Structure 1
Amino acid sequence: MNNLFSPTKGAGFSFCRTAVGASDFGLYAYSYSEVDGDYDMEKFSIKREEKTVIPYIQKAFKYNPELYLFASPWSPPAWMKYSGLMDRGDEFPEKNYLKDDPKIYEAYALCFSKYITAYEKEGIKIDRLIIQNENDIATKYPSCVMPVEQMGKFVKTYLNPRFKTDDINTKIWAGTFRTAGQIDAIEFASNKEYHESFAGIGIQYTSTKYIQDIKTLLPEMPIMHTEGSCYNGNNTEDQASKRLGEVAQYINYGVTNYCYWNMILNETTESGWGWKQNSLINIDRENKTVTYNPDYSVIALISKCLQSGVVRVANYSSAIIISVKKDNKIFVLIQNNKNKADKYELDIINQNSRQVKIPANSVSIIQLDI
C-alpha cells in the first residue's frame, strides 16, 4: 500500500477508480440490491464489500489522505434489466438493457444514493460517479448497454433530483464512452440537452481524433480518462514500453488524468469470467510472493509528476513527451526507444537551452527549475 499510494515513498496514486458492485474482475456477479422488486431499497447492503474492498480503499486513504475516488457500475442490479442478469450479456444482447420504466429509474437512483451514503459512513468519499462503464457493449461479464438518450433522461429526471433531495455532493459524469464500435461520446457532446445535467465526460480506449471532436463541441466541459489498455495478462516489458505513449495520447490532448485499472491481481491474472489482464502487481496466493510488473515501474514514475495541481505546458518534439509545470519547476517525461543512449536538447522560451542524455530504451523524467 505504501508503494502504491504514499506520495513520498511510493507512486503516490491520487486519482483512483472503484466499481459500484461487481466489475469484469469480480469473482462473480453481485450488486447491493439483490431482492427483486425492492424499489425502496429496504434490503440494500454493501456487506459483500466489507471484507476486502472497503478495507483496501480505507488503507489507500490512510497512505494518501488527498486521494480522489471515482466510481462506476458495470451493470445495474439484475432485476432492473430486461435480461434479469448482470452478466451473460453476450448471450442475450437484445435484453442487456436497463428497463425503461420510471419505477426502475427511481429505484436505481435511490440505489446510487444509498451506495454513496453507505461508503461515506465507512470514511470513504466518492468524489465522482460515472453512470455506466462502457455503455455500448454486451459481454459475458457484468455489462449494460445504455444509449446516450437513456443516460441523459435517467440523470436529468431521476438521479440529479435524488442527489439534491438527499444532499449528496458527488458529481455526476457521463460515460464511460469508448468510441470503439460507435461514437456515443460525440453524440453526447453534440446534444446540448444533456450538458447541464453532467459535470464532465469519462472516456477510455478513445483515439485523439475523437478527443479533439469532443473538445471542439464542448470546450468548457472537462474530460477524464477512466481505464488504460489492459492487454492480456502477460505483463511484458514491451507492453510497459507503450505506457508513456498511451498516457501522452490523453494528457497532450486535454484530458485531465490517466487511470491505469488493475492495481493487483492474483497469479492467474484472470477474473471470474476467465478474462486475463495486466496489472501493476501480482500476488501468488499459494507461494505468498509479490511480483512488481514492468507496468508498475513506468506508471509509478509517471505518477510522481502527474499529480493534482500540475499544469500541462505545450511542447514541440518528435519524441514521446509530456511536459507539466508546478511550483516553478517543469517536469519533462520523455521516452528513448533507441538501443543506445541519446542526447536531447531542451529549449525554453527566454532561457538558455539545456542538453541531456537519456538512457537507451527508457522512460525518464527531467526536472528543470524555472
Structure 2
Amino acid sequence: MAIRVLFPSSSSSSSSFSTAQPTRRTSRLRRGFCCFCSSSTTSSDEVSSSSSMMTVSITGATGFIGRRLVDKLLSEDHKVCVLTRSTSKNKASSVFPASRYPGVTIADKEGDWERCIRDSTGVVNLAGMPISTRWSPEVKKEILQSRVNVTSKVVDHVNTSTSASSNGNGNGPSVFVSATAVGYYGTSETDSFDESSPSGNDYLAHVCREWEGRARQVKQEHVRLVLIRIGVVLGKDGGALAKMIPLFMMFAGGPLGTGTQWFSWIHVDDLVDLIYESLRNPAYTGVINGTAPNPVRLSELCDRLGQVVGRPSWLPVPGLAIKALLGEGATVVLDGQKVLPARATHLGFSYRYPYVRDALKAIIAKQL
C-alpha cells in the first residue's frame, strides 16, 4: 500500500516569525472578503470592510488541492485563470467546463500565461509531479524539474508584469503564493520542526530548497511572497485517504512500517482556507507551515481511521514490502517529521479541523 503524499516544499533559508499583530481569519464570513490592506496590523474588520474582487492565476488547478481552491474562490465571487500546458488543456476543460465554471479562464499558451498573470491580483503555484512512486534517476529528475521549471516560468511572468506595471502598463499581481513541502525539514522520530528550523540533508529537502529558491526570485519589493510548506493533505477525493479508505473497508487496513513515524497532516479545507487567507491578508508573508496544529503518529492515524469507518486497524504493512514496491521512494511513507504551524498559530489562523479524529469524521461523512 502506498500513500500519495502531496508534496510542496520549502526554502533554503529559515524564516523568522512575523511581528505583525495577529489577525483573525474571516473567510468563513461569506462573499467577497478579499483585500490588500496597507498595514500588516490591520484588524479583521478592517480587512473585510475594504474588500475587492480578486483575479487569481493558478498552476496545478486541476489537482486535488487546486480544484478545491478554484471552488473556494468562485464561491466568494472571485475570478480564476487556470494556467496549464497545451497538452493538458483538454483535461482542464473537462475539470472546469465553461457551462459550469463561467468564472474560469483556461490559459495554455505562453502569451496567455503572460496576459493572465499581468491581469491578476494574485498568483498561486501548486504544480508538481506526485512523489509517492518508485524513484529511478529519471523520476527523481522529473520530480525536481516539474517543480523548479514551472515555478521559474511563473516567477518570470510575475516579474515581467510588475516591471510593466511600474512603467504604467497595468497593475500586475501583488501576491505570489507558492506551495512547497514539509519535506524541507528532513525526517526525525524525536525532533519537532517549525518555520525557523533548518533544512534537512536528504533528497526531498534538496528538492524543496531548489523549489523555494526559485520562488524567492520574485521581485519581493513589488510582490508579497508566501511559501506554504504543505504536509499530508487529507480529503475525500484525493491524497493519502483515497488509497487508505478502500483498504480499511476491506478489513485490510493498518499502519505502514513501524507506525511510530510522525504524520504531519492537514484537512484539505483548512489548507484551502490558508491559501485563500494568504492571498487576501497582507500579514501573511514568508514561510508558513501548511499543517494542522496536532500531528500524530501514523499508528494513531490508522487507529482513528479504523474507529471512524468501523473497521479494525490490525494489518500492518512491513517496511520491507513498501521498500520492495517503492525503492528509495518508500521514504515518503516510512519516514516522517513532526511539523508544527507556528506562524499560522501566531497569525491567529482558525482551523476547522485541528484534531485528526474530527477531520476523518468529516471526510468519511461526505463519502457516505
TM-score (norm 1): 0.30
TM-score (norm 2): 0.30
Q: Which has the higher helix share?
A: 2
Q: Which has the higher strand share?
A: 1
Relative CO higher for 1 or 2, CA cutoff 8 Å, sep ≥ 6?
A: 2
Which has more radius of gyration? 1
